[in-house]
Amino acid sequence: MPILMAATVSPVNNLHLRLSIVNQHRNRRRVMAAFNEATINEGDNRSSKSIRLAKSISNLLNLYIEKPSLKNLLQRTDRNVVAQAEAKLDSPPMSPKEDISSLWREIHGESDWENLLDPLDRLLRREIIKYGEFAQATYDALDFDSLSEYCGSCLYNRRKLFEKLGLTKHGYEVSRYIYAMSQYEISRWLEKSYVADTWSKDSNWMGYVAVSDDVESRRIGRRDVVVAWRGTVLSSEWYEDMQQDLEPLGHGEAMVERGFLNIYKSKRASTRYNKTSASDQVMEEVKRLLKFYKEKGEQVSLTITGHSLGGALALLNAYEASIMFPTLPISVISFGAPRVGNIAFRDELHHRGVKALRVTIKQDLVPRMPGIVFNETLQKFDDLTGTLDWVYHHVGAELKLDVRSSPFLKRGSNFIGNHHPETYLHLVDGYVSSRSTFRSDAKRDVALVNKYCDMLVNELRIPPCWYQLSNKGLVTNKFGRWVRPKRKHEDIPSPIEEENSDW
């Protein structure tokens, strides 16, 4: 497993660094003071609102000036990345499991992850990666072959999903699959198949519900129900699919992005897989699991995860679950998720006790959408504008990562690579704090970063987009001819089997 050795800072360099920081802070304060003074004293007849606007602008500028200490520490200190990578090939790709049964509430945001994110708590890091791998599974198991008669479905049945993806190590079992559709133009991301309607042209596999087994439940201190949501598959779909309009959610002032809500709530009687909505499917299964385990006297939590669009659906899911199960501990751990709703939506989630942790990458554009202009930063001008119910607001605490912190990642603009979930997991694994370099004992296999993109430095010689079925799924028949194999009966999607299967 490749690792960047922790950089050591000599006393001399450390002194220069501190002096540089002090000088830059002084210069910044002078600039801001001069800006405020010039703006305020330009005319005594200016209104107080104009003065407050000037101060707000200066404060906003101050927020966006990069910390000099971080900028200096993010420089590469060791360019021999090949040696670092080779040194880890004979070590396990994941930190060992530890008992967190007495700490699980804190790890899942009871105090909004205060003092756990910067520096990042090692126990929390491992749990974030676990849920991130659950989110990644929704991509790895999707049949996205446009020539497949099952395009848009899961490649495997729910009993084999974690086994096929190497996730049995986490100690969870999948209990139900989730299917979604859309009534709007956003449905294009659901209709990639070139084949006739042999499976479903209306619905896509959108994720799953899983629950911790007995061993894992003892380790983490409760029975954990997990819902994992998939994001859109093509990066270009963000520009076509994301609508900007906010739509009321329920009877209060909360509003959410129309396209996200449409995917979560859409259903159609004529379809096989979405006679009920994704919302209905999930809530029905969560309700069943809660009843089953609470009757056994167990403590239960709900953890919802997702990447990109999946992170948006996770928040909608959490909102609905908090209404239906008001005493249930609910947390959301999302990766590269966009904004979902307005400030009232954010406040309702907070008041209902939902704990949300957003993992973002500074260079990723998706967390800035929608509402690139009309977002929570306008609160800085609320003296002039008043409370704006029609602008987008992020929800919860943020763990902000930086591509430049890893010596294994390429620099420059790479929309797909910067947004990819494996890039997120790589950076979480190496993150120590906002003032530290990539940790020397990171465990995760760096080759995974290039599964679907080209983010690793060329020195590592890991092919881009290497993750695919052998021979793109073709096999030889008994005559030696290359053919597309038929799925095993147990892996053919069937809503009847989903509904009647034994738990």
Per-residue model confidence (pLDDT) at position 148: 86
Rg (CA), the chain: 24
Q: Residue 419 domain-assigned?
A: yes
Evaluate whether residue 58 is within a structural domain.
Answer: yes
- pLDDT, residue 198, reads 63
Task: Please compute the mean of the pLDDT values over residues 217-230 and round it to a whole number.
Answer: 98
Residue 482 domain-assigned?
no
**Residue 58: pLDDT band with limits 50, 70, 90:** very low
Q: Is residue 429 part of a domain?
A: yes
User: What's the pLDDT tens digit per position in 162-201?
Assistant: 999 999 999 999 999 999 987 654 445 445 555 545 677 7
Q: Indicate the burial class of 182 (C-beta count within 10 angstroms; 0-12, 13-18, 19 or more).
A: buried
Evaluate whether residue 110 is within a structural domain: no
- Give residue 51's domain range: 1-93+402-456
Would residue 13 count as lying in a domain?
yes
- C-alpha torsion angle, residues 107, 108, 109, 115 (rounded to 10): 20
Higher pLDDT, residue 15 or 305? 305
Classify residue 470: in a domain, yes or no: no
Tokens representing 99 are: 């008992």
Whether the pLDDT of residue 355 is over 60: the answer is yes
Give the model's pLDDT for residue 68: 42
Candidate list 182, 279, 308, 434, residue with the active-site label: 308
- Write out pLDDT tens, residues 288-331: 999 999 999 999 999 999 999 999 999 999 999 999 999 999 99
Cβ burial, residue 14 (10 Å; 0-12/13-18/19+): exposed
- HSE-up (13 A, CA, CB side) for residue 172: 28
For the question of residue 193 being annotated catalytic, the response is no
The answer to whether position 439 is within a domain reads yes
Output 89 or 141, whichever has higher pLDDT. 141
Query: 145, 202, 241, 364: which one is catalytic?
Result: 364
Query: 413-458, pLDDT tens digit by residue?
Result: 899 999 999 999 999 999 999 999 999 889 999 999 999 999 999 9
Residue 110 CB contacts under 8 Å (≥ 6 apart), including other chains: 355
The tally of domains found in the chain comes to 1
419 noted as active-site residue: yes
Q: Per residue in 262-281, pLDDT tens?
A: 899 999 998 889 999 999 99
The predicted model scores a pTM of 0.81
Q: Which residue has the tokens 């404060």?
A: 59
Longest pairwise C-alpha distance within the chain: 92
- In the residue annotation, 393 being an active-site residue is answered as no
307, 393, 419, 420: the catalytic one is 419
pLDDT band with cut points at 50, 70 and 90 for residue 8? very low
Going by pLDDT thresholds of 50, 70 and 90, the confidence category of residue 39 is very low
**Mean pLDDT, rounded, of the chain:** 81
Quote the strand ranges of 233-388, DSSP E.
246-248, 255-257, 300-307, 330-335, 355-361
